[in-house]
Structures are given as C-alpha cells and as structure tokens.
Amino acid sequence: MADKSKPAPRGKRERLTQAAVELAHRQGYRSTTLADLAQASDVPLGNIYYYFKSKDDIGRAVLEQRLGEVAMMEQMLSALPSPLERLLAFVENSIGNAALVAELGCPLGTLSAELSKDEGDWTAPARGLLGGPMTWMESQFAEMGFGGEAADLALQLQSSLQGASILAHSLGDPDLLVREGRRLQGWLRGLATNAPLSSARPFGPSGATSP
C-alpha cells in the first residue's frame, strides 16, 4: 500500500515550470538555456519539447505562474478586515522578502522588465506583474476614502517599493528595503488617520493604530 502521508511527486510539466520560474529570477529568462532547465528540473533535455513546444511557451508558463501568485496574494489579503491592514500586509510581504530581493532583485519587477521589452502576445500581460498590484493598491486607497487621489497614492507606494528593491539589489543591502518598508507603513497609518471618508478602521478598540 502506498504511503498516503507523503505528498505525490510533482509532474514533469510542473517541475519544468517551477524550475523555469526560479531560473528566470536567478539569472534571467533569456539567459536560461534548455540545458539549464533540464538540469534544474531533473527532466531529460529531449523530453522538454513534449511539454513545451518552444522556449516562448516556457516563458508564458513562467508569466502565468507569477501572475497566479499575484492573484493568490491579493486573495489572501482580501481576508483582512480593512484596506489599511491589507496595504500594511502587502508592504510587510516586501519586507519579508528583503534578503531575496537584495540577492536576486524583485521577482516581479525583473521579470516584468525583461518580458515587457519583447514584442509578443505576452507583452501586455507582463505589465500586469507590476500594474496589477498597483491597480489593487488603488482600490484599497479608494476604499479608504481618497477617491481621485487613489491612483496617485498607489503610484507612490509601488514606485517607492520598487525603487527600494532596485537599490537593495544593486547595493546588496536588504536593510534598505526594510527601512523603506517601515517608513511606508508609517506613511500608510498616517494617511488612514486623516482619510476623509475612511472605512479602513485604522484604530483598534483601544484607539491604538492597527498593526
């Protein structure tokens, strides 16, 4: 009888996709060869074309997985009770990934920059790697009551996080992203306190600012 306590081994296509996602982050999608992918996924080189007809198909799978991760994160954040808490948690996620970002760069930013340069059917979807979260941020600021300012506030938050990510990676210093993230969290709390029609519930029962 099979041991049901052990997870089933991942299929070859899933292993190939995951390996491609990791390699694209570590060394760039265009710099990743099929031989790299075969070695990292433990799938024979000759078998790759059975699952992906071209390297561009692999790129689409990488993009789809990253976009899926963005959607999943937004879904998880939606369980939090207020837009302030969702935005704070979004920034906290960046802070938690500071070491990885300092080593390899922002996984969404680097892939977006690389794929958006291409002329193909993935150029527009690739913009969603950064544009999607920014649209989500805008909706959170709108829910906080900022209305016409929501888009500008979302731009400020996203550009601050991405700028700090670039600096952290370029200088190899994760603390730069951590410091900027903490500053942004303070900025968000201040905005929520002064929101004109805030439904973000920035204060807890005792009147303390929510974490």
Whether 114 and 28 map to the same domain: the answer is no
Q: Is the pLDDT assigned to residue 211 strictly greater than 50?
A: no
Instruction: Judge whether 206 lies within some domain.
Output: no
What is the per-residue pLDDT for 129? Answer: 92
Give the per-residue pLDDT at 198.
44
For the segment 78-124, what is each residue's pLDDT rounded down to a tens digit?
999 999 999 999 999 999 999 999 999 999 999 988 887 766 677 77
Look up the CATH number of the domain holding residue 82. 1.10.357.10
> What pTM did the predictor assign?
0.82
My answer on whether 21 and 44 are in the same domain is yes
Q: How confident is the model at residue 209 (pLDDT cuts 50, 70, 90)?
A: very low
Domain assignment present for 80: yes
- Residues 41-90 have pLDDT tens digits of 999 998 998 999 888 889 899 999 999 999 999 999 999 999 999 999 99
Q: What is the 3-state secondary structure (H, E, C) of the chain?
A: CCCCCCCCCCCHHHHHHHHHHHHHHHHCCCCCCHHHHHHHHCCCHHHHHHHCCCHHHHHHHHHHHHHHHHHHHHHHHCCCCCHHHHHHHHHHHHHHCHHHHHHHCCHHHHHHHHHCCCCCCCHHHHHHHHHHHHHHHHHHHHHCCCHHHHHHHHHHHHHHHHHHHHHHHHHCCHHHHHHHHHHHHHHHHHHHHCCCCCCCCCECCCCCECC
Does residue 29 lie within any of the structural domains? yes
Q: Residues 98, 176: one domain?
A: yes
Residue 127 pLDDT class (50, 70, 90 cuts): confident
Name the residue range of residue 157's domain.
Answer: 65-193
Q: What tens digit of pLDDT does each residue of 11-22 get? A: 888 999 999 999
**How many domains does the structure of the chain reveal?**
2
Co-location of 21 and 93 in the same domain: no
